[in-house]
Amino acid sequence: MSTKLNHIAIVVHDIDEALKVYSETLGLPLQKVNEEPAEAVKVAYMPTATGEVELIQPITDDSGVAKFLAKKGEGLHHVCLEVDNIDESVSQLAAAGLEVLGQVRTNKRGDKYIFIHPKSSHGVLLELYEKGE
């Protein structure tokens, strides 16, 4: 399985406040902000030379991200690894005993993604990601 770091995601209470630190102070360029209804989040995309930083803010109180934020507070939410073929990668990981969460989904940018449960990956929520066309 060929992988590279695609992005890290940081969960925040308020994207606009967080952008004051990450974009204005640290100088990360803000590419865009999208709502992703399938995950019930608003996402700020900030590309870097070697990947991307994403700020994620829940847009409902009952989403998985909202529950994570309420339980653990702001901070690292997940690490995303980009793969060449998500279906093959999911099959390999499941065969190795890792717990895959749900089905492969597609975001507004046309990218496919799926999550691996943190108990399978030493406490870190992993996202596998295949770039769209």
| Structure-block tokens of residue 5 | 């770091």
CA distances from 128 to 8, 28, 80 (A): 12, 23, 6
Give the tens place of pLDDT for each residue, 41-51.
999 999 999 99
Which pLDDT score, from 0 to 100, does residue 28 have? 97
Q: How many CA atoms lie within 13 A of 118 on its CB side?
A: 8
Confidence (pTM): 0.89
Q: What are the structural domain ranges in the chain? A: 3-130
3-130 to CATH, choices 3.10.180.10, 3.40.50.720, 3.20.20.120, 2.50.20.10: 3.10.180.10
Q: What is the mean predicted confidence (pLDDT) over 74-87? A: 96
- Please state, in angstroms and rounded to a whole number, the distance separating the CA atoms of residues 78 and 117: 10
| Structure-block tokens of residue 92 | 């390999």
